[in-house]
Structure 1
Amino acid sequence: MELENEEIKKYLQILSKEFPAFLIEYANVPEMQRLKGISMVSACEYTKLIPYKFFHTRYEHSLGVALIVWHFTKDKKQAIAGLYHDIATPSFSHVVDYLHGDYEKQESTEELTETIIKNSKDIMKLLNRDNIKLEEVIDYHIYPIADNDSPKLSADRLEYTLSDGLVTQDAFTLESIDRIYNNIKILKNEQGEDEIGFENLDIAEEYLRRSSIMWHLFCGNSENNMIMQFWTDILRKMAKENYITEEDLYLYSEKEIVDKIRNCPNKKIRDAFEIFSNSTQVGRSDTEVKDKYCISIKVKKRYTNPLVVCEDGQARRISDISQIGKELIEDIKHYEDSKYAYLNIDL
């Protein structure tokens, strides 16, 4: 498996000591390779608003989810479903959700998953060879280890929390990921379903403390909100003036689209991006700021309330057995940054 970043390689080896050959085959199809050009962290690489260590891709995230599922289930179909869960993600990821007005659920990109897989000759050839039905891999929601209802812990939520926290905010290190990951096992939740959770409370609390750093970044932080809304508005303006189409988000990498913005014939668009890309912080206000690029949005709350094995052998939610866990979860539920965020941009 060819991966450029050594830290990501080491991270993926923590998730699964074994990298099964079939995953390499399924990951090498063009539809998956496209995800190498898509950022996992809000495309923050093109601005200075959120510090980051290296370019972390949607492709690497997909591999991570597949490896977590494989590690815990050793089930080929489930691992492939995990691998392909983001195959329909466009450049700038959830910006398409914002374009469609879906700020809180952020699910509009999932609608194309079946179409992309079904129309891929390479994927269908592999599935037919392995006697795997299309419906067994197009929806990872049917596999509770891969995905489940929030705020339960799943492979998907675990992966993006760990890897995003490795890339930004110094929330996780390889050492802490190794310690936390090796404390996770499959448990039974309140509904009698399989769900990954923790063997020890102290490790679960460490996971929540570190995770809460990421929750605050992605659940209302003004810099992150600004990045997502700016991409939405500048891409909408580019589309309105026929410089790009929404389809281009599925055809071009983020870098290629950024190049289109930087070379746009409209100077107003170029100047707005120049200011955005060099901004290190946003202005904050409780009231709308006139004559500025001022935004106010309500975004999806991302947090988990994982299971933990108690002394009696039963698995319970950390919020029910840990004051630390309860406080961290309640804090993010009610967390709001400033009502408005703004930059000195004319867009």
Structure 2
Amino acid sequence: MAIEGPFWRAIAVFRVASLVYAVVLLAQHRGYAEPVLGWLVILVMALWTAGATVAYAAESLRRWPLLSADLAVTLACLLASPYVQGTLQTATGTMPVPATWMAAPVLAWAVRHGRRAGTLAAAVVAAGDIWSRSGADEASVLINETVLLLMAGWLVGHVARLAKQAEERMQRAAEMEAAQRERERLARDIHDSVLQVLALVHRRGRELGGEAGELGRLAGEQEAALRELISIVPPAPSGTTDLRSLLARYGSSSVTVSAPATPLLLPAEAAASVAAAVGAALDNVRAHCGHDARAWVLAEFLDGAVTVTVRDEGPGIPQGRLEQAAADGRMGVARSIRGRMAELGGKVTIVSVPGQGTEVEITLPA
């Protein structure tokens, strides 16, 4: 992943800086009884620093063989330290030849495979460090170094994992945005050509009747199917549902569904309830206006709330009809629409004028 690049460059810089620090320590000849052997260890460290820097720069080589070799070389240099220190190993303040250089594989494991791998590598390096200083009376120093190694492995692994997850999410968001733009482009092209022709055939067929009417009906069905196809939306984040995808199912030759280009995200249960309420409203349209009655569904996001409007051009609802239906035990509107929204903290407004149709407005805080 591209996000790993800065991590590997930082580790390369750390290796070089730690190598310089180890050279300075050995050049002082403090605590090293066999400096010649120490310089041989430094040479191995220098060669591996150069090789590892080049190898880790290639993403295809960042695999277990390289990571294992990195850890093995570091342990070899670390375990050679007692022979370099010789009789001076017990001197106060003496450090192993790799000094801080030994933390490099811990960082590499953490960046590549996360917290657990980083912690495991830190434990292995810490065990080697403890063994190499078994003759020294520096228990507190060893404990501090071990804790620091373990913390570094865990923390760097955690940060690297978060960075990778952020990059994956950004990539998915970019792909979804590109797909949405492409869908919108196709929808525009289809709307300007195929859908308009199908709508014209549907309308003219209904006017002419007979075989032309059947042809118009088939054209209307194909128009509805095509509209639903081009309105398919990408999946919503876990735990939420894009209301547009649920409302699109109601689209047909007699029901027009309109929604914004941006997602209308609601908790899954709330989105299902809103869609069910819209379905109940459309059932009422068919029941009281006829199966071929036209209806329009409009979904939008306004002032922090999702609003869905269902409108028809039927005969309207006579004054007092809803109250009388509830009193007679017919709870279609009272329970299926108003009841659902009341449970979610939403509201339902019904406006109906005899002879001019009915409008049901469902509003739910987003």
Shorter-chain TM-score bucket reads: under 0.3
Query: Could you say which structure has the higher helix fraction?
Result: 2
TM-score normalised by structure 1 residue count: 0.23
TM-score normalised by structure 2 residue count: 0.22
Query: Which protein is bigger by CA-based radius of gyration?
Result: 2
